[in-house]
Homo-oligomer: A and B are copies of this chain.
Amino acid sequence: MGKTKLTKKPRGRATVRGIAAAAGVSIGSVSSVLNNRHVERRIAPETVEKIRAAAAGLGYLPNISAKRLRSGGKNNVVLALVTSFEAPIPLVNHFIIALRAAMAAGKFPQAEGAFSVMIEMFPAGRLHELPGLLSGDHFNAAILLNTTAEDDAFLNRSPLPYPVVLVNRLIAGYAAVVEAPETGSRAAEILIRAKRRRLAVIHGSPLTQTTRARVNGFMHRGAELLGQPAHEIKSGTLSELAGYDAMRAFLKRGPEIDGLYAVSDALALGAYRALKEHGLKIPSDVAVVGVGDYEISPFFDPPLTSVGVSHQALAEEASRLLLQQLGGVGAARPTVTVPLTETLRASSGHRAG
């Protein structure tokens, strides 16, 4: 009845069609006005007003996909950084920069330098609810950060239909970038070489694949070389404050240590304060080794010795792998291990770096 072809029930978001109907003009005129082309397209001033009013009244927001499709030139490679909300995000920056740098350097000529980077976030364990993840209609390729075991199980069940690089996670069928597995054992060796015998490791809980590997490597190598197990100090989260609290509680409990391995620099910084407050000197009383995940650990007091992989290296390698998959015809899904870098500074008794 009233349902003529023109009216086309205005459910959902306003479109040019809706505005055209509301203003009683054609969609071409609407588009011309909305893009400020009304002068060269010779739209009458009162028509311009009618259209503007209708657009404002309907709360019109253009559909970016449609705009780009129609007028977006080539430029359409969309890369995504997918990470969980809960994760420590400073890492994300490195990936953004690395992706942009890799594209700018022409590592993926097809894009002709034009592409977009999106950030998608999901609640830990709910990766599968991320819109566009399975259909592949939100991005052309993705780097996945900070997934949980549940997310990993999902990824294993449902292979994503586009190039993906996992960071610090191994799942069959996916390319991955992981840190070298010897970080924990190397930390133990550094402390032991510095003549430390009563070791401890401080870590957050729950452990991730990566932090678990660090802790295990440290415990194992420490026990191997010293014949006695290291203490394990569990912090609630990976924050400085949590590290401080955990360390303080540990020191109050009594065990004496002379070497500490912190699985994140944030924990190391928190531990620094607890150690100092407890009257312990770094490194003379307790030597500390971190992992190098803070840019500013050279400016800790004393500067923090660290052994780990740089975020930058991780990000660069991940970008490289992603673009390689994007461009490559082959179905290679390599796992790349990023070599560790060891930076000896004053916190382990070495000269400041």
A76 touches B (CB below 8 Å): yes
CA of A119 to CA of B57, assembled, Å: 30
B65 in contact with A68 (CB, 8 Å) = yes
CA of A72 to CA of B116, assembled, Å: 18
A240 touches B (CB below 8 Å): yes
CA of A93 to CA of B136, assembled, Å: 25
B59 in contact with A78 (CB, 8 Å) = no
Nearest CB on B from A253, distance (A):
22
B301 in contact with A138 (CB, 8 Å) = no
B301 in contact with A301 (CB, 8 Å) = yes
A137 in contact with B100 (CB, 8 Å) = no
CA of A270 to CA of B296, assembled, Å: 10
B137 in contact with A72 (CB, 8 Å) = yes
Nearest CB on B from A59, distance (A):
6
* Count of A interface residues, CB-CB < 8 Å: 65
Contacts of A114 in B (CB 8 A): 131
Chain A 42-56: CB-based contact to B (< 8 A → 1; otherwise 0): 000000000000001
Cross-chain contact of A62 among B35, B57, B74, B140 (Cβ < 8 A)? B140
Cross-chain contact of A136 among B67, B92, B120, B329 (Cβ < 8 A)? B67
Q: What is the count of identical protomers in the complex?
A: 2
Contacts of A139 in B (CB 8 A): 64
Contacts of A223 in B (CB 8 A): none
Nearest CB on B from A123, distance (A):
10
A273 touches B (CB below 8 Å): yes
Contacts of A249 in B (CB 8 A): none
A75 touches B (CB below 8 Å): yes
Contacts of A68 in B (CB 8 A): 65, 132, 137-138
Contacts of A118 in B (CB 8 A): 116-119
A4 touches B (CB below 8 Å): no
With contacts A74-B12, A135-B71 known, is A59 near B327, CB below 8 A?
A: yes
B116 in contact with A61 (CB, 8 Å) = no
Interface residues in A235-283 by Cβ distance below 8 A to B read 240, 244, 266, 269-270, 272-273, 276
B119 in contact with A96 (CB, 8 Å) = yes
Cross-chain contact of A299 among B62, B69, B137, B269 (Cβ < 8 A)? B269
A120 in contact with B131 (CB, 8 Å) = no
Contacts of A12 in B (CB 8 A): 74
Residue of B whose beta carbon sits closest to that of A71 = B137
A89 touches B (CB below 8 Å): yes
Contacts of A294 in B (CB 8 A): 296
Nearest CB on B from A269, distance (A):
5
A110 touches B (CB below 8 Å): yes
A329 in contact with B59 (CB, 8 Å) = yes
Contacts of A66 in B (CB 8 A): 65, 69
Contacts of A92 in B (CB 8 A): 93, 96
Contacts of A13 in B (CB 8 A): 74, 76, 110
B64 in contact with A76 (CB, 8 Å) = yes
Contacts of A298 in B (CB 8 A): 240
A75 in contact with B131 (CB, 8 Å) = yes
CA of A76 to CA of B269, assembled, Å: 42
A-B contact pairs, 15 of them (CB 8 A): A63-B76, A64-B140, A65-B72, A67-B136, A75-B131, A85-B97, A89-B96, A93-B93, A96-B121, A118-B119, A269-B299, A270-B299, A272-B299, A272-B301, A296-B296
